[in-house]
Amino acid sequence: MSKLWGGRFEQTASEWVDEFGASIHFDAQLVLEDIEGSIAHVTMLGEQHILTADEVAQIVAGLKTLAKKAQADELTFNVFHEDIHMNLEALLHEEIGPVAGKMHTARSRNDQVATDMHLYLKRRVLETIDGIEAVQTALYDHAAQNVESIMPGYTHLQRAQPVSLAHHLLAYFWMLERDKERFSDSLKRIDMSPLGAGALAGTTFPIDRHRSAELLGFAQVYPNSLDAVSDRDFILEFLSNASLLMMHLSRFCEELILWSSEEYRFITISDVFSTGSSMMPQKKNPDMAELVRGKSGRVVGNLMGLLTIMKGLPLAYNKDLQEDKEGMFDTVKTVQGSLSIMAGMIQDMTFHTEMMKQATERDFSNATELADYLTAKGMPFREAHEVTGTLVRYCIDQRLYLSELPIETYQAHSELIEADVYEALSPVTAVKRRNSYGGTGFDSVRIQLTEAKENLPTHA
C-alpha cells in the first residue's frame, strides 16, 4: 500500500518514523469537521462544473455514510495514513471506489486542516460561553440572596473594610463577563474560511471560495492564501482568553479554599465536590477547587507552547503546525470541565453568613468609618487619618476594639466625636452607607444585580 502522496518517493519510511510523524492519534477529534468541510468543498466543485453532478452525488453520499459511522464510533483509523484527512480519503475510497480521489481537487491538506480547526473552535467557543454563563448564574443566585450579608473585605490578605457578600461574589461575575466578551469578540477571527487557499498560493481551478464559506456558515473568507494556511492567531487568541478565564477561576478557587478552612469557616463546600484523606479520617479536602486552581497552569502552558512554536515559523505552512492541536484540544477539555465543576460547586455551596458577620465585629476594618466620620464633622482627612491611627494603636495596646472604647476616650482625642460614633462604627452601617456607583452599599449592590441579570439572557 503506497502513500496517497507517495508518487515522488522511491523509499518508504520505517514504521516508527510513520508513528512519529502521524497526527491521527489526536486529530481524529476533527473527523466530523473534516467531513463537513469536504462536503462543502465538493458541493462547490460541482456548482463550478469542476466535478460532474454524478461525481458529487457519489462523494457526498459516501462522506455522509462515513459521518454516520463516525458518530457510531465505527471507523478505524490507520497510522499509515498519517492524519484524519488522508484516513478519511482512504476510507471513502473503500466506500465508493476511485472517484473518492476527486474529492481533493483544488484543495490541500494545509487549507483543509485550517478549515477543520476553524469549524471546531467556533463551536467550542460557543459552548465555552454557555459554560461561563452557568457559573455566572450560580454566582448571581447566591448574590441575590446575600445583598445584606456582610463579610470582611481584604487587601494584602489583611482585613480592610466590611463589604456585602453579594458585592464580593459579583466581582467575579464581572470578571467572567469580560471573559465572555473576549470569547464572543474572538468569533470574528474564528468565523473565517481558509478553504480553497490551497497549499499556499491558491489554485488554477475556477473555484468559488465565498460559496464554500457560505455552505460552512463562515462569515468571512481569508483574503490572502499565504495567511489563510499559516494563521494560528485564532487558536492563540482562544488560548489567551482561556488563560485569563482560568486565572479568574483560580483566584476564586483560592478564596474558596481559604474560606472553607477552620481558620475562616465562611463556607462549606458540598461533599460532592470534596474528598477525604486516606490517613486522617477527619479531613474534608476542597480537591475540586484545588484542581481547577492547578489546571490554570496547564492552560497557560498550552498558550506558551503554541506561542513558542509560532514565533520562528516562516511562511507558509510548516510541519511544526501539527503541534497546534493537542494544546487546543486539551484546553477545550480543561476549560469546559472546570466551568462545569465551578457551576455545580458554587450552586451547592453553603455560606455561613453569621460567621462572616462576626468576623467584621472583631477587627479594625471599621477604622476608615471613624476617619470618614471625623472628616464629615469638618476635620481634614489627613488629620482624621492620624487621629484614627492613634486610637487604633491605643486599642491594640489595651486589647480592645474601636466599638468598645468609652466615649470619654474618644473625646480626649477629638471634641468632634459624639455618641453617634458607635452607630457609624457598626459594620452594617459601614457597608450600607457606601452607595457610590459600583460600591458595596446595599442599594448600589441591588443596582449591580439588575445590571448583572441583563447579561444573563436565559436567567429566570
Selection from 22, 63, 24 nearest residue 41 by Cα: 63
Q: Are 99 and 56 in contact (CB under 8 A)?
A: no
Q: Of the listed 14, 49, 156, 436, which one is catalytic?
A: 156
Which one-letter amino acid corresponds to residue 176? L
435-458 burial, b at 16+ Cβ within 10 Å, e below that, comes to beeebbbbebbbebbeebeebbee
Q: Are 78 and 87 in contact (CB under 8 A)?
A: yes
Q: Cell 476549560 appears where?
A: 335
Q: Are 163 and 431 in contact (CB under 8 A)?
A: yes
Please state, in angstroms and rounded to a whole number, the distance separating the CA atoms of residues 304 and 318. Answer: 19
Instruction: Name 221's bridge partners.
Output: 193
Length of the chain: 460
Which one-letter amino acid corresponds to residue 234? F
Selection from 138, 161, 147, 132 nearest residue 448 by Cα: 147
Selection from 65, 84, 73 nearest residue 22 by Cα: 84
Torsion sign over Cα 333, 339, 344, 348:
positive
Q: Are 170 and 449 in contact (CB under 8 A)?
A: yes
3-state helix, strand, coil in the chain (%, to 5): 65, 5, 30
| Helices and strands in the chain, H and E counts | 19, 6
Selection from 275, 300, 261 nearest residue 157 by Cα: 261
Task: For residue 354, report the phi and psi dihedrals to the nearest 5 degrees.
Answer: -70, -40
Q: Are 62 and 96 in contact (CB under 8 A)?
A: yes
Q: Of the listed 25, 261, 277, 459, which one is catalytic?
A: 277
Please state, in angstroms and rounded to a whole number, the distance separating the CA atoms of residues 216 and 114. Answer: 13
Q: Following DSSP, what letter does each residue of 195-211 receive, concatenated?
A: TT-TTTT--SS---HHH
Which parts of 148-208 fold into alpha helices (H)? 165-190
- 248 classed as catalytic: no
User: What 3-state class would DSSP assign to 256?
Assistant: helix
User: What 3-state class would DSSP assign to 313?
Assistant: coil
User: What 3-state class would DSSP assign to 221?
Assistant: strand
Instruction: Name 351's bridge partners.
Output: 267
- 93 classed as catalytic: no
List, by residue number, the catalytic residues: 156, 277
